[in-house]
Structure 1
């Protein structure tokens, strides 16, 4: 039974990587938004590429949800970061992104950190969250909304990093809610649990923040900062409140793996370079998506 968790984990990484790639294309198809407003999601919803990305994101979420039934949050959350490697490869192949050597090295380092976490994780079911913890999730949600309102004014890679970080916090909170939910087998109890609706609202909030982040110029920075903020708080909550376990004698390996993974994604936010800036960058992404085949292949960065 526990082996199923590992299968869900591998499939989740691949699907999340594809989801990020498709959403990056779609986010550059619409006019850049400078406010924290859900109309961006409504505009994106008319694009088939974005809907395909959302479909992959939903599938990835379901796979992550199932993985969390068996595996600790620190492993599942950190493994989501491995999807950025899939995103980067797809970007290089199809959109002609040019990744500097620093990004390539950091992606390799990220993979090593994930491997260490896999080796150190001890599969286990989740404990339930206390009522106080549920109230705290509601308060954090309100705080994220306020922070998103002001952060949406930032531009460039700084905006990608800041908004991506907030998206990661939202998705991390959704993951915290989903870990105990994944162990509820009774349909009525599942549908009446407040964690279900907190998980949904957090996921929608994270989706909006991620779309805004991807519009700011650097998909790598947006996804890396999202993964950094996504992993650490949720992992701490899992170990402290949800009964997540580390294999005996491998605590040091889990600590090293998590620090390496977190360090790699944080460094990616520092060294990431814009893949598409301004109108010229958007036009190239549209061409790569099929508007004008044959013109793809320009430099990865343009001056606005």
Structure 2
């Protein structure tokens, strides 16, 4: 279990550092220089900091998969939300973003909450839900996509909240799906291709990426990221306990709940770092976009 906890923290570290590196790369190629269209966006991604950030995202995803196979879901999801603490601290140092008192308290809350969760977490649940639940996850991704299609043209600020929530729920499906994947050995990969959870994982990740992009596109980064944090932590944590049988150490349930709440509250206090920007740009990012 210690190795799984280290992997969860490593995933949070990778995702947090990746966010800062991608922000550095994007700053070097402004829309004015590269163009605001799709081609300009692609050009802005072709630089060393941004590429390094993408590589760290890949390492973080692998670490997340390992952690999810050995830890309760509520611990891993809370740790991933804690990536915002890493981004905030690095952003303060590298991007000259000033942290207020509430944000430093958020960083402290994430650290304390995760420490409590690590100390109180039991082993991952060994309950095996029926095949119907595996298919239900895939159906949930389809439902998330359909709902997103219906609310696509909702106006801000509701749009950011809805898209962020859908993104978080999609990432929650990814976490649940990983726990349902069958154990395999190379080169016998056949069971993965016949497992609905495999496709729920892939589709959930893709849908979540689209909705997160749309959620921050209007400039309401804080709203979208806060909704995402709630979506990817609360419901998956409950399902991990009810469906997968995740538990805490004996007699430590109240303390674990408190640690989870503190960690998530700290992440919410750091929600504006869901899209890192220099302080001079932060106020502009909070304004609604009037572009097409």
CA pair 216-142 structure 1, distance change in 2 beyond 3 A: same
Alpha-carbon distance between aligned partners in 1 of 2:223 and 2:133, rounded to the nearest angstrom: 31
Aligned pairs (5 A) from 1:35-74: 44=41, 47-48=45-46, 50-74=50-74
Task: Give distance in 2, aligned partners of 1:68 and 1:167.
Answer: 19
- Matched residue, 1:171: 171
Q: Secondary structure at the match of 2:69?
A: helix
The Cα of 1:100 is off from its aligned counterpart by: 3.0
Question: What is the CA–CA distance in structure 2 between the aligned matches of 1:182 and 1:16, rounded to whole Å?
Answer: 26
Task: Give the whole-Å Cα distance in 1 for the aligned partners of 2:14 and 2:129.
Answer: 28
Q: Structure 2: which 5+ runs fail to align?
A: 32-36, 288-292
- Indicate the residue corresponding to 1:20 in structure 2: 19
The equivalent residue for 2:248 is: 246
Q: CA deviation digits over 1:19-57, x for unaligned, max 9?
A: 3334556778787xxxxxxx97x9755513555433322
* TM-score, scaled relative to structure 2: 0.79
Counterparts of 1:69-218 in structure 2, within 5 Å, are: 69-124=69-124, 126-153=126-153, 159-181=159-181, 183-185=183-185, 187-217=189-219
Is residue 165–residue 224 contact of structure 2 (8 Å, CA) maintained in 1? yes
**How many Å separate the matches in 1 of 2:152 and 2:234?**
23
Bigger shift: 106-115 or 22-31? 22-31
Distance 2:15 2:275 in 1: 19
Distance 1:99 1:154 in 2: 32
Whether the aligned pair in 1 keeps the contact of 2:182 and 2:191 (CA below 8 Å) is no
Report the alpha carbon displacement of residue 260 of structure 1 after superposing the two structures with TM. 2.0
Structure 2 distance, partners of 1:274, 1:123, is 30
How much has 1:251 moved relative to structure 2? 0.9
8 Å contact from structure 2 (residues 19, 53) kept in 1: yes
* SS of the residue 1:244 aligns to: coil
Partner of 1:293: none
- The CA distance in 2 between the partners of 1:158 and 1:75, in whole Å, is 29
Gaps of 5+ in 1: 32-38, 277-284, 289-296
TM-score (structure 1 length as normaliser): 0.76
| Equivalences, count | 275
Note the C-alpha offset of 1:156. Answer: 6.2
- Tell me, in whole angstroms, the C-alpha distance in 1 between the residues paired with 2:26 and 2:152: 15
Structure-2 change in CA distance of 1:137 and 1:275 (3 Å): closer
Q: CA deviation at 1:255?
A: 1.2
Please report how far the alpha carbon of residue 152 of structure 1 lies from its aligned counterpart in structure 2 after TM superposition: 4.5
Aligned-residue RMSD, C-alpha: 3.3
Distance 1:216 1:183, change over 3 A: farther
